[in-house]
A and B are shown apart, each in its own frame.
Chain A
């Protein structure tokens, strides 16, 4: 009897021990990545490519399952994570500058950035401002001078809606250049960067605002000329010959970053695990190749640093959106 009782006690003790280790060390099981859009979009590729790299470098056991949850420009997925899966330790969600923009503008009704935990970035697509090759505008100064003297003569097109990231990049530049009423900046929204570039080539628009990777084909062919790159320093490769806005005295960095957030109730252990895993992906040669292939520039922020970066961009977008009257 006593032996069995002791045995039982031992068993209980070891079970308790097991349970407590399980509480402390997080073991990923069925890992999942939500892409808040249909297959084929930017967030979908972020999930799939990062997931593939995680498997290749064996940073996670098994595979990272990708779930598409489209709607509301990412708002449906955000709400689902906050309301239904808040304590899921195996879940990460793809995000980008568009996520921060919409959070800042209250476009995810009832949600804000503090409801989730921000994990890290895996790269950025820097903004550019470009004109057609035969345009009289030669530099960012030329364009800004024209925008100041005759704001209605400059129509700038981009691939995002009014108040979206492509629009805000131009406004950031305009504000820095001393244009006080940014509402005078004439922005025309298109359904994608390519459509806007075609209109620049066709002569309907005077300038284009977008991401470096979107414009690459036209830059290589010489159809458009980049007058400013919104990066901290010159980009590598084909873009190295184009000056940054900073060089021209306008200190604006516009990065369309790609990264991940996690449910707000994720345990600290799991959070640390995912931050570290995304760091491993970023440092791997496989990911460097993926970045080069898809035209992403470096942006290496993880954990608290990344959280601060998102918070800072949300607050500056909030200010700007208030100025243009998009939010009250």
Chain B
């Protein structure tokens, strides 16, 4: 009850004209930033920091603006994933898997509206989780040492098989490629540069946003160029219908259990520092696929495959605020930027933040609730507008996609080198698509590969090279068991199901 009282006080802080206006502005900007390929939540928040400085905003006001942008971007990322098969930001990656097929089937409006609702559900539950569970959840984060993190990331890779491609070998190859790319840069555990070829631009490693924009957006443009819009190939020429722009109750109802489950999973993934929204949406999708995908419709435009990652990544975004506020440890790239901002505003995040700056914390949480409702109200009616993107002929749309990609990447880093890297990734994406190698595991490799390696090597340093540390806690053993089951089960079951299907076919022929 104490929490509820504090929350009411928070609403008193948040419901001033200035704060409501900032939240509204943040939500709107965030949605746009999220939807544009190349601008994700972390750099969306980063580019607004100077604005907060120039406006001379008070700490609470600045945080309300920036977290609204954060939540907004988490909503917005899905839009280009669904409409163009180009993830607007890294957590929206998984939404392409079922969202784009839905759009191709003429159900773009439905997919957008459904994912809007799923985003709302995820964010809504995560914000409640933040209200009631933040202090307790911090203890969960303390259970995770390097060995446990390594097991967790292994779990993510072990369940990768079968998610994105019918060909498991190609998915494994793609993930390995991603891990190789993640290795570029100065290695934190030895301080030695790897695969940098003396090129100082590569010392910080390859920015995954550059990789995503290159692999998805630019390769799409290259495909279009190859076919010159003659209607062949997998460019954007297929006439994509808009369909209804509100989801039916039946559809919402059928997706409700999915949304609830994935909100929970995503929230927990968000709470773990170093895991973040990408892992949240990824694990949400893969677990949901294991649980409910009996007919093998995931990946072909199953609405549950749209609802799962969207509820998951928005819940993870809320979850990531738990370690940031309560421990001062960022759970994701975006919260790292928010943390820097808090520190600059003379607010020390940490165990005492809820006590020493209650107005900031509870004002912020109240603003999150407010922003979440604003985003739902803003996003559902705007579906009709978004889907019109599909009516733009590709010969106009593709140059715009190329332009936004270049401006977005250059705008953040101001580096022409990054543009070259992006083009290289564009060409790589084009080749991989020709070879029918899925692109999603490449990005996952880049996103998670470093974390996985770092944690393994941290564990090894701590134990002096004794591998048994990886199995030293019940939590680690549990995670390993889940990974093994997740890896082996589809192989075994897949064989049985295939055999049964063959038998059925044979039986059908004999009949």
On A, residues with C-beta under 8 Å from B are 38-42, 44-45, 48-49, 52, 66-73, 75-76, 79, 105, 107-109, 152, 155, 161-164, 186-192, 194-195, 197-199, 201-205, 213-214, 216-218, 220-221, 223, 292-295, 326
Contacts and interface: CB of A to CB of B under 8 A. Distances in A.
Given A40-B45, A194-B328, A201 B353 contact: no
B204 A73 contact: yes
A39 B189 contact: no
B330 A192 contact: yes
B143 A202 contact: yes
A198 B144 CA distance: 9
B168 interface: no
Interface string B190-220: 1111000010111110000000000000000
Nearest to A39: B46
Interface of B: 43, 45-47, 49-50, 53, 141-146, 186-193, 198, 200-204, 273-274, 323, 327-330, 336-337, 339-341, 343-346, 348-353, 356, 412-415, 417, 454, 458, 461-462, 464
B98 to A, nearest CB: 32
A45 B340 contact: yes
Contact of B350 (A67, A76, A216): A216
A253 to B, nearest CB: 23
A197 B339 CA distance: 15
Given A48-B50, A71-B413, A163-B191, A76 B462 contact: no
B328 A152 contact: no
A71 B348 contact: no
Nearest to B461: A188
Contacts of B47: 39
Contacts, number: 164
A192 B53 contact: no
A90 to B, nearest CB: 18
A192 B337 CA distance: 12
A200 to B, nearest CB: 10
19 contacts: A39-B50, A40-B336, A70-B413, A71-B204, A72-B204, A79-B200, A155-B461, A163-B191, A186-B461, A189-B189, A189-B454, A194-B273, A201-B142, A202-B142, A205-B462, A217-B328, A218-B328, A223-B351, A294-B344
B200 A72 contact: yes
Nearest to A49: B344
A101 B340 CA distance: 22
Contacts of B462: 155, 186, 188, 204-205
Contacts of A67: 414
Given A39-B47, A71-B413, A71-B415, A217 B351 contact: yes
A213 B414 contact: no
Nearest to B349: A217
Contacts of A38: 43, 46, 412-413
A202 B146 CA distance: 10
Given A155-B462, A197-B328, A202-B143, 14 more contacts: A39-B46, A40-B337, A44-B49, A69-B415, A71-B413, A71-B415, A72-B203, A73-B186, A155-B461, A186-B461, A187-B461, A189-B454, A198-B142, A295-B348
